[in-house]
């Protein structure tokens, strides 16, 4: 690892920082240090970095905007690769929109709407990257990535680039192939449809208004914590169990939206994980329903 650190710190693969706290790089504002944080400035640097890490068998973790993720208090061993400017590209060709893996999913939906393209309106409230959305099969308002993705370019752990079609991702609810066979989404292509700009804008405005009224966006959070169980809504179950406002340390079940856990100021990952376990146990006891977290827990336990 020391040899790899020296190589990465040379600047040839982008900006590198030792023992970088991860809290500033996540929307929950929680997380211990990464052994080394690497921010490639070009796609070629990203590819060469992954090849180097593969050659030396150094573990790595890729992040985008740090949403839908909880980094443990001990932090992340190995190298954390943060995707930034190198993968923030966008191109529109007719009804097809292609975006880099680090491009904001919300921003992409706005651009599509301004171009009169419909199909991405649901993404207007998903605070992550295109790559993260493809990885999680992100969705809202009755739609998700699986309905519009045509293909994506991914960087394999070996450092090779490959193209996967929609069916290759084996999409299911908040699930894709990448959750069992990790790879970095470098670019994704979506097939949309021409629509009425006014109708698209109205739908997005309605979604935004609902989001502002129902989600605790003024506090550090990571989006919905639990997946919706079959036949149920996680938020409704948690609210009916009287768990709004339940807290552990600095972590609290949002009083505005029961499926959000907010950082009220000094929450630790341990606080959040303890609160998740308490909520799960209560819902299992009260309703016989097993809540499954959709947030990714990353780092040393």
Which residues form the catalytic set?
174, 224, 294
Other residues' Cβ atoms within 10 Å of the Cβ of residue 122: 22
HSE of 139, CA atoms in CB hemisphere, 13 A: 18
Indicate the helix (H) or strand (E) that contains 144. strand 143-144
Q: Look up residue 277 and give its two tokens.
A: 């376990």
For residue 140, give the nearest of 173, 170, 116 by alpha carbon. 173
Indicate the helix (H) or strand (E) that contains 19. strand 15-21
Q: Look up residue 246 and give its two tokens.
A: 């339940």
Quote the CA–CA distance of 87 and 160 in Å, as a whole number.
16
For residue 124, give the nearest of 208, 190, 222, 218 by alpha carbon. 208
For residue 95, count CB atoms less than 10 angstroms from its CB and return exposed for 0-12, middle for 13-18, buried for 19 or more: middle
């Amino acid at each position: 690892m020391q040899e790899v650190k020296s190589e990465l710190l040379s600047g040839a693969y982008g900006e590198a920082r030792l023992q970088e706290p991860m809290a500033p790089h996540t929307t929950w504002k929680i997380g211990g240090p990464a052994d080394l944080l690497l921010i490639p400035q070009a796609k070629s640097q990203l590819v060469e970095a992954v090849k180097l890490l593969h050659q030396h068998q150094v573990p790595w973790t890729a992040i985008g905007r740090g949403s839908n993720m909880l980094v443990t208090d001990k932090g992340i061993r190995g190298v954390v690769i943060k995707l930034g400017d190198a993968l923030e590209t966008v191109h529109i060709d007719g009804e097809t929109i292609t975006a880099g893996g680090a491009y904001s999913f919300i921003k992409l939906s706005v651009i599509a709407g301004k171009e009169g393209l419909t199909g991405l309106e649901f993404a207007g409230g998903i605070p992550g990257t295109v790559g993260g959305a493809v990885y999680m099969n992100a969705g809202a308002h009755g739609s998700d990535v699986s309905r519009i993705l045509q293909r994506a370019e991914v960087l394999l752990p070996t450092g090779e680039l490959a193209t996967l079609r929609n069916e290759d991702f084996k999409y299911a609810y908040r699930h894709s192939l990448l959750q069992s066979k990790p790879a970095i989404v470098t670019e994704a292509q979506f097939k949309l449809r021409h629509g009425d700009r006014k109708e698209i804008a109205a739908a997005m405005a309605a979604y935004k208004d609902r989001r502002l009224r129902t989600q605790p966006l003024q506090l550090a959070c990571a989006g919905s914590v639990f997946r919706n169980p079959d036949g149920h809504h996680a938020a409704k179950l948690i609210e009916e169990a009287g768990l709004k406002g339940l807290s552990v340390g600095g972590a609290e079940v949002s009083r505005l939206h029961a499926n959000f856990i907010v950082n009220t100021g000094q929450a630790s990952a341990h606080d959040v994980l303890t609160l998740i376990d308490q909520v799960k146990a209560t819902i299992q006891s009260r309703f016989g329903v097993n809540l499954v977290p959709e947030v990714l827990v990353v780092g040393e336990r």
